[in-house]
Structure 1
Amino acid sequence: MSEAAREPVEEQRFVRDDWYGEEIAGRHYVRCEFHEVDFSEAETRNSVFTDCVFGNVRFNASRHTDSAFTGCTFNRCNFFDAEFTGCKLVGAAFAECELRPLRVTGGDWSFTGLAGADLRAVVFHGVRMREADLTGANCGGAVFTDVDLSAAMLHAVKLARADLRGSDLSALDPLNAELAGAIVSPDQAAVLVTSLGLHVRA
């Protein structure tokens, strides 16, 4: 790849482009807009999207590895069967997106805006989600294992039947969340009991 090809693509607008199945490796997009673009079955590797806007974009069955979508906004995008592995989405915001089923392994999703999102049965494993906004999100039956949720916004979050083992639940108020059937470890149970003001004694 030439040096010119490595230069970031800045402030460009892509409308109805067909990137179906494309391999996107080592690219960098800055403040670009993607509208009604088809990313279905596309693969990104070591690519960076900075402060970009995605509107009505199809990410169906796409695979993303060691890529970054920092400060990006996703409006009415479809992530059906998408996978993110080791990706960085710090400060990304999702609005009216279809996020099921979604699988996320590793990476940093801190400060991500997922308020009100439908995250039923999605999988987050080993992900850093510090100060992520999950206010009112429906995470019923979801998997949040070994996830750093410290200082996350979890008011009115629905976690019924969710697997939360190994995750930091210090920011979770059991009185302001739905937790029926959620799976936690004994250590996490102690944290939740403490947050309720109870004292456990032998």
Structure 2
Amino acid sequence: MASNFWTDQEFTKQDYTQQKLPKGDYENCRFVDCLFAEGYLDNQNFVDCTFEGCDLTNANIAHTTFNNVTFENCKMVGVRFETCNPLLLSLHFIGCNLSVASFNGLNLPGIVFQGCKFHQTDFSEAILKQGKFPYCDFENALFDGTELEQADFTSAINFTIDPAINHLKKARFSKEGLIGLLKKYDIVVT
């Protein structure tokens, strides 16, 4: 159990790459323009927290609890979300770069990713039922055995999703986005 507890605190422009964020429970805290790249955020507890403009590139989040946590305009390249604590997992993303990140096998029904970049991101075996992806870029993202029932891709771009190996019942796509469902057939749509 964590021995430190912070509530209603704001951490601004802190560099946690050399000295780790103290282990503990953070409730209703804001992290603004903080640097966590290549750092360790493992075994932490974040509840009702917000990360704004932070760099979490390749941060270790193993066993960390994220309960109602929002990431806004953060760089999160290479973050392996499947290593965090799945209990009470509730995430929100706005304008984040999640390229080369991994959500492999995570259960995130109803998640909203707004205006995010997912180049080469792994969504294999993830459950994203009723997920919303407005204005997201999925260039070379991996969907394999992904549950996307009732997900909304109507304004998403650059995705390639094979309907034969993913669950797409009642998922929503724009007419322009249909090509992303047909790429494996190497057909020309005009």
TM class, shorter-length = 0.7 to 0.9
Give the deviation of 1:21 after TM superposition: 2.4
Kindly state the Cα deviation for residue 74 of structure 1 after the two structures are TM-superposed: 1.2
Match of 2:149 in 1: 160
Shift of 1:144: 1.4
Q: Give the alignment partner of residue 58 of structure 2, picking from 71, 75, 81.
A: 71
With over 3 angstroms needed to count, the CA separation of the structure-2 counterparts of 1:90 and 1:200, relative to structure 1, is closer
Match of 1:23 in 2: 10
Partners in 2 of 1:117 and 1:78 — Cα distance?
A: 13
- Output the CA distance in 1 between the equivalents of 2:76 and 2:9: 21
For structure 1, the 5+ residue unaligned runs are 1-14
Gaps of 5+ in 2: none
Q: Is the 8 A contact 1:31 1:51 kept in 2?
A: no
Q: Tell me, in whole angstroms, the C-alpha distance in 2 between the residues paired with 1:43 and 1:119.
A: 23
Greater alpha carbon shift after TM alignment, 90-99 vs 57-66:
90-99
Tell me how far 1:200 sits from its aligned partner.
6.2
**Structure 1 residue matching 2:26: 3-state secondary structure:** coil
Larger Rg: 1
Per the normalisation by structure 1, the TM-score is 0.82
CA contact (8 A) 1:90 1:108 kept: yes
Q: Give 1:80-91 correspondences, 5 Å limit.
A: 80-91=67-78
Which residue number in structure 2 is paired with residue 12 of structure 1? Answer: none
Correspondence list, 1:22-101, <5 A: 22-30=9-17, 33=20, 37-94=24-81, 95-98=83-86, 100-101=89-90
Matched to 2:77, the amino acid is V
Q: Distance in 1 between matches of 2:138 and 2:41?
A: 26
Bigger strand share? 1
Q: How many Å separate the matches in 2 of 1:110 and 1:59?
A: 23
Q: In 1, distance between residues paired with 2:22 and 2:106?
A: 21
Is the alpha carbon distance of 1:175 and 1:196 closer, same or farther for their aligned partners in structure 2, counting shifts above 3 Å? farther
1:116 counterpart = 2:77:
no
Give the aligned length.
187
Contact 1:34 1:57 in 2 (8 A): no
Structure 1 vs Structure 2: percent identity of aligned residues?
Answer: 21
Which residue in 2 is equivalent to 1:132? Answer: 121
Deviations 1:46-83 (A, max 9, x none): 11102122333211110111111111121222222111
